[in-house]
Amino acid sequence: MNQNELKKTLSKIPLGDVKYFDSIGSTNNEALAWATSDAKDLSVVIADEQTAGRGRLDRKWFTPKGTALAFSLILHPTAEEKPYLTRMVGLAALAVVDALQTRGLIAQIKWPNDVLLNGRKVAGILVESVWSGEEVDCLVIGIGMNILKGAVPPNALLQFPATSLEESLGPDVEREEILHDILAGIIALRPHIGSDSFIASWEKVLAFRGEQVQVEEGDGNQITGRLLGLEYDGSLRLSDEQSNSLTVRFGDVRLRPHP
């Protein structure tokens, strides 16, 4: 990644401090450690390669050198934002969708934390919290995006198909510009996180909306239903065959289209 280019591009948005690494274990781990010391709001950790990138529940996230975007944004939630922290994953996902839309691509959110292009995963989001007693003090929003084809793991390692921006846009993708647009999008959406229109925008880009889906829970339990939309807190709203309403909360859950 061209550091001069990166600095110039990011200087256009009001970030805190920026730390760049050619290679790191996980930008989220670095950001969590920084968040517990002296990181300002909107500080960012960016890496060209991750050797121990993480998805949810410690699943592996691949970030081979020079092929992807991998960064973590530190937020100090304001008092107004604190009631809506469960919406933050949606806010980050919407910023990713918007950045892709600017480039003529129609992306969708596979609830809760993945962004799909042509039905394949192009980006993943991992939101983690730093607590101070009973209160969330900081959030770390980690985003990984496959830019070049080389970022996509071999099929054998995937539970869900994956893609890269190169497959839609060709190899001349400006990583720094996309990073800029996602960060600027998060900053622009933040003041709207508590609004009803925010939930409506998130619902509008949900993958499989109106379709039959399956939710696999960590204990092996499966829920089948039609995906209706979102609850107030960002939980998923389904209806079963008897039209009973079901709510799927964040946690060890995986969403799939009904086979």
Residues that bind ligand ATP (CB under 6 A): 55-56, 59-62, 113-114, 121, 124, 146, 151-153, 157-160, 162, 254
Report the residue closest to ligand ATP, judged by CB: 55
Q: How far apart are the C-alpha atoms of 14 and 201, rounded to whole Å?
A: 24
Interface with ligand BTN includes 108 (CB under 6 A)?
no
Q: How far is the CB of 55 from ligand BTN (least distance, A)?
A: 3
Q: Is 76 left (phi over 0), alpha (psi -120 to 50) or beta?
A: beta
Interface with ligand BTN includes 64 (CB under 6 A)?
no
Burial tier of 232 (Cβ tally within 10 Å: 0-12, 13-18, 19+): exposed
Of 120 and 180, nearer to ligand ATP (C-beta) is: 120
Q: Residues near 38 by Cβ (< 8 Å), separated by ≥ 6?
A: none
Distance of CA 31 to the CA centre of its chain: 15
For residue 27, the partner it binds in ligand ATP, ligand BTN, none, with Cβ less than 5 to 8 A by kind, is: ligand BTN
For residue 151, the partner it binds in ligand BTN, ligand ATP, none, with Cβ less than 5 to 8 A by kind, is: ligand ATP
Q: How far is the CB of 53 from ligand BTN (least distance, A)?
A: 4
Interface with ligand BTN includes 90 (CB under 6 A)?
no
Interface with ligand BTN includes 67 (CB under 6 A)?
no
Choose, by CB under 6 A, the member of 9, 43, 67, 72 that binds ligand BTN.
72
Structure tokens at 103: 């480039």
The alpha-helical segments, DSSP class H, found in 40-116 are 88-102
* 207 neighbors 110 (Cβ within 8 angstroms): yes
